[in-house]
Amino acid sequence: MTSITLPAELSMQGKRALVTGAASGIGRATAAVLAQLGADLVLADRDPMERTRDEVEAAGGTCQALRGDLTEDAFIALLFAADRVDAVAHCAAILDARPWTEDPDWQDRFHRVMDINVRVPLQLATAAVDHMAAHGGGHIALVGSVAGKTGGTSLTTPPDYAASKGALHTLVKWLSRNAVGRGVLVNAVAPGPVETPMTRGFNLGPTLPMGRIGRPEELAWPIAFLCTSAASYLSGAILDVNGGAFVGP
């Protein structure tokens, strides 16, 4: 295989990147791509990350895996307590696919979705901004959703999930306004449906312009780009990565 020398702007050599939700789906794919770009990785998830570690090492990278709950303040603090972190790819989120009108505990579920999909990225990003600003700057990439722009890709999209991703898109803009002057760039991607455990059971492919849902690596590359200096003049942006399922402001 012919080796390719990366442009300096895309290289993550000598950089340390934190990936949350790293055990599966978009998070695992993002970790593998960042490893290919040369990053030293910190992986965070509640679930075992052996498969991700194997993929990172197969890509020639190194990583440290930290298992914990991002809803706990102490775990977020731990992620920034040691070595410098240059980039954060926050991929952790939840979606409860049960029809919310039939869920007797829908209010508790609503608060849990908002906690994990809105409060956690706000708290994580705020900690990251403070850490990165003290070390000369950095990049933060969050994962929103086309549902946050359209209300959902189908009538089965839960309202709590759609609302949480719309809130996250607003947070990207707020975070950017407060971080860019400190040398930290904050952006996001807004995926359509992607082949992950979260979308298992949905049959949305035939309804989409490409006739299929996305693959995790098709989100991982744009997320990784947002973590590099190639995105050095990009902040407050939400990139639509959805195979043409949504075209609009």
Helix count and strand count (H, E) for the chain = 8, 7
Q: List the end-to-end C-alpha distance of the chain, in Å, as a whole number.
A: 41
Q: What mean pLDDT do residues 112-121 have? A: 98
Angle at 202 between CA 197 and CA 95, to 5 degrees: 50
Q: Is residue 6 part of a domain?
A: no
Q: What's the rounded Cα separation, in Å, for the pair 192 and 62?
A: 30
Q: Choosing from 61, 161, 165, 222, which is the catalytic residue? A: 161
Asked, for residue 10, whether it belongs to a domain, the answer is no
Split into its structural domains, the chain has a count of 1
- pTM recorded for the entire structure: 0.93
Within a domain: 87: yes
Q: How far is CA 191 from CA 48, 63, 107, 244, in A?
A: 25, 26, 26, 10
**Is 67 domain-assigned?**
yes
Q: Is residue 70 included in any domain, yes or no? A: yes
pLDDT tens profile 212-242: 888 999 999 999 999 999 999 999 999 999 9
Query: What is the Cα gyration radius of the chain?
Result: 17
Say if 1 falls within a structural domain: no
Q: Domain containing 27: what range?
A: 16-241
Residue 82 CB neighbours (<10 A): 10
CATH code of residue 208: 3.40.50.720
Confidence of residue 2 (pLDDT cuts 50, 70, 90): very low
Which pLDDT belongs to residue 201? 58
- 59 lies in some domain: yes
Whether 232 is in a domain gets the answer yes
The answer to whether the beta carbons of residues 115 and 71 sit under 8 Å apart is yes
Q: Is 233 a catalytic residue?
A: no
Are the C-beta atoms of 21 and 49 separated by less than 8 Å?
no
